[in-house]
Copies of this chain bind each other. A is one copy, B any other.
Amino acid sequence: MSLNWELQAQKAKDILQDSIPKQWLLPAHKLPSADEKNMEDFPRKSGLLSEKELTITDMSATSLVLEMGAGRLTAEEVVVAFLKRCVLGHQLLNFATEFLTDRAIARAKDLDEYYQRTGKLVGPLHGVPISVKEHIGIKGLTCNAGYVAWVDDISTEDALLLKCLEKAGAVFHVRTNQPQSLMHLCCSNNLTGTTLNPYNRTLSSGGSSGGEGASTGFKCAPLGIGTDIGGSIRAPAAFCGSYGFRPTALRNPLTGAKAPEPGHEAIRGVIGPLASQSVEDLDLFQRAVIDQEPWDIDTSLAPVPWKRVNPTKDMTVAIMWDDGYVRPHPPVTRALKHAKAKLQAAGLNVIDWDPYKHEHGWDIISSMYFPDGALSQRTLIDKTGEPTLPLTAWAFAYSSPNPLTVAEAWELNVQRDIYRDEYHALMKSRGVDFILCPAYAGVASVLGESHYWNYTAIWNILDQPAVVFPSGLSVDLQLDQISGEDKTYTPRGEVDDREWSKYTGPERYEGAPIGLQLVGKHFKDEETLAAGALVSGILNDETEQTRSML
């Protein structure tokens, strides 16, 4: 049965529109003009948020919990501050799919009441507002996962991760945007449109957790929840100047996150945190979840407790300057050089990383994304006749035109396991604890241009934990001019040429922060976050006293 897809899509727009707390909307004339790119300073300029609210939204989750624990902030004023910033962010960046204003405020009041009555916090995330990618189900609310066909689907239960976070004290205040098919590193769909980058609105906020990129990058939430099967947490974090963590698979519970291929586990999507302020907040999130032993409910998880790990400088970081396939854009390389100098000055052992068969890794994972020839996805799209967006078609093209047989799919599993074992052995034999590398070939993608995934996807096929954080640098109109050997660089092939050509100069990416990615060994999630906190602190000139991890 063919439906009028636009009528169906309108329902998602209505849900969003009806949910916006109108009292905080800025009138059109107070908004920046459409050609203003960088929104970083607008919250202060807007006049919507009080000085205290600006301070609150600049705080980390860790600090907010400390303040609430000391009675200096209430959960209600915290969530109201972030909700106001959300409304502003949404007007500027179109990142939300639904505001949860009333229930969030009611929940915050309950937390405050509990605190006043007992003098205690309910858990390690007491009163922390967390934004939630739309396809992570919330009981009683619709869940469309970026498909018009699912616009009426209502979740019958909260996703398990949300239950854990809620038990730890979290407040869910806004749901966020995702691309059609969940398989763009950009963020555009036929339901609620396109999400923009807070630092440059001609750029994408990344994807598929692009709503979360904007949410955390614009500080609409100290923590957010994304999912990642090829970079979907890390690309948005890198594009938007925030923090993002891809845990090893089988650690965080994915139960209740909706996607068209349930049971497809050759390559496992993961669910994990983004944060607006710090790597430490990513650890806080992980700790709060895994301390609850979610494997005792979702038995697909590995029962591995969340260790407490102290950052240490006694480690070897290897820098991967280039994956051997697609050359990073000049600002990214500059950030890596900056990092190398800073880390060496801080006394870390820094060497180079020679990448191992990344093209082979991409061949495996790209064949695994849609083993049924994307039939599951195409069927959903065809159901309503919604247009297939260009980046959806791009991703579907990874699949073979015909579905794989189960035996062909098994052969990919074998290749995956061999490759993962080999890469792990290589890190050990080279004495490398962590790999520091680009999170993307460029600093961000111009809207619709996110074609090359393998600076992130490679760690999905290898199932290694990876954390993204700002390098401390942004695109610089002087320093990032194409110069030196870049001027005469001859791309290695079609893909390299396509990606390199996108960098016509820093102007195209003006204002964008430069994120980097630190990758740990398989299942060394805690160590990766501890190292990420240390490295991030060094790059951003924080003293060790500034932050404490635990």
Nearest CB in chain B: distance from A267 CB, A = 12
Nearest CB in chain B to that of A265: its residue:
B413
Nearest CB in chain B to that of A295: its residue:
B523
Going nearest first, the 10 A-B pairs with the smallest beta carbon separation are A263-B410, A263-B413, A302-B302, A263-B414, A371-B406, A299-B522, A264-B410, A303-B523, A372-B407, A262-B414
A405 lies within 8 A of chain B by Cβ: yes
A100 lies within 8 A of chain B by Cβ: no
Nearest CB in chain B to that of A422: its residue:
B299
Contact of A412 among B263, B303, B463 (CB under 8 A): B263
Instruction: Known A263-B414, A304-B304, A414-B262; judge A376-B299 contact (CB<8 A).
Output: no
Copies of the protein in its oligomer: 2
A425 lies within 8 A of chain B by Cβ: yes
A417 lies within 8 A of chain B by Cβ: yes
A109 lies within 8 A of chain B by Cβ: no
> Are B300 and A417 in contact, with the CB atoms below 8 A?
yes
Inter-chain CA distance A421–B425, complex, in Å, is 34
A261 lies within 8 A of chain B by Cβ: yes
> Are A421 and B298 in contact, with the CB atoms below 8 A?
yes
Nearest CB in chain B: distance from A408 CB, A = 9
List 18 interface pairs A-B (beta carbons < 8 Å), by A numbering: A261-B407, A261-B410, A262-B411, A263-B413, A263-B414, A264-B413, A295-B523, A296-B424, A297-B424, A297-B425, A299-B417, A299-B420, A299-B522, A300-B417, A302-B304, A304-B304, A371-B406, A403-B406
Q: Which parts of A370-418 form the interface with B (CB within 8 Å)?
A: 371-372, 375-376, 403-407, 409-414, 417
Interface string of A299-326 (1 = CB under 8 A from B): 1101110000000000000000000000
> Are A375 and B407 in contact, with the CB atoms below 8 A?
yes
Q: Please, which residues of chain B bring their CB within 8 A of the CB of A417?
A: 263, 299-300
Inter-chain CA distance A411–B371, complex, in Å, is 14
Interface string of A280-301 (1 = CB under 8 A from B): 0000000000000001111110
Inter-chain CA distance A456–B453, complex, in Å, is 44
Nearest CB in chain B to that of A413: its residue:
B263
Inter-chain CA distance A496–B384, complex, in Å, is 48
A182 lies within 8 A of chain B by Cβ: no
A220 lies within 8 A of chain B by Cβ: no
Nearest CB in chain B: distance from A491 CB, A = 33
Inter-chain CA distance A376–B409, complex, in Å, is 13
A275 lies within 8 A of chain B by Cβ: no
A250 lies within 8 A of chain B by Cβ: yes
Inter-chain CA distance A405–B263, complex, in Å, is 13
Interface string of A240-280 (1 = CB under 8 A from B): 00000000001000000000011111000000000000000
> Are A372 and B406 in contact, with the CB atoms below 8 A?
yes
Q: Please, which residues of chain B bring their CB within 8 A of the CB of A371?
A: 406
Nearest CB in chain B to that of A414: its residue:
B263
Nearest CB in chain B: distance from A356 CB, A = 14
Nearest CB in chain B to that of A262: its residue:
B414
Interface string of A342-368 (1 = CB under 8 A from B): 000000000000000000000000000
Interface string of A14-25 (1 = CB under 8 A from B): 000000000000
Inter-chain CA distance A263–B368, complex, in Å, is 13
Q: Please, which residues of chain B bring their CB within 8 A of the CB of A298?
A: 421
Q: Please, which residues of chain B bring their CB within 8 A of the CB of A261?
A: 407, 410
Interface string of A413-435 (1 = CB under 8 A from B): 11001001100110010000000
Nearest CB in chain B: distance from A525 CB, A = 11
Q: Please, which residues of chain B bring their CB within 8 A of the CB of A265?
A: 265, 410, 413
Q: Please, which residues of chain B bring their CB within 8 A of the CB of A264?
A: 406, 410, 413
Nearest CB in chain B: distance from A444 CB, A = 32
Q: Please, which residues of chain B bring their CB within 8 A of the CB of A297?
A: 421, 424-425
Nearest CB in chain B: distance from A510 CB, A = 42
Q: Please, which residues of chain B bring their CB within 8 A of the CB of A375?
A: 407
Contact of A302 among B299, B303, B404, B407 (CB under 8 A): B303
Q: Which parts of A418-463 form the interface with B (CB within 8 Å)?
A: 420-421, 424-425, 428, 463
Inter-chain CA distance A21–B375, complex, in Å, is 60
Inter-chain CA distance A413–B268, complex, in Å, is 13
Q: Please, which residues of chain B bring their CB within 8 A of the CB of A413?
A: 262-265
Q: Please, which residues of chain B bring their CB within 8 A of the CB of A404?
A: 406
Nearest CB in chain B: distance from A526 CB, A = 12
> Are A405 and B407 in contact, with the CB atoms below 8 A?
no
Nearest CB in chain B to that of A415: its residue:
B263
Inter-chain CA distance A173–B516, complex, in Å, is 54
Inter-chain CA distance A420–B404, complex, in Å, is 27
Inter-chain CA distance A420–B300, complex, in Å, is 9
Instruction: Known A371-B406, A406-B371, A406-B404; judge A411-B463 contact (CB<8 A).
Output: no
Which of A263, A300, A417 gathers the greatest number of chain B CB atoms within 10 Å? Answer: A263
Q: Please, which residues of chain B bring their CB within 8 A of the CB of A302?
A: 250, 302-304
Q: Please, which residues of chain B bring their CB within 8 A of the CB of A410?
A: 261-265
**Apart from A376-B407, A406-B406: 4 A-B pairs, beta carbons within 8 A:** A262-B410, A263-B409, A263-B414, A265-B413
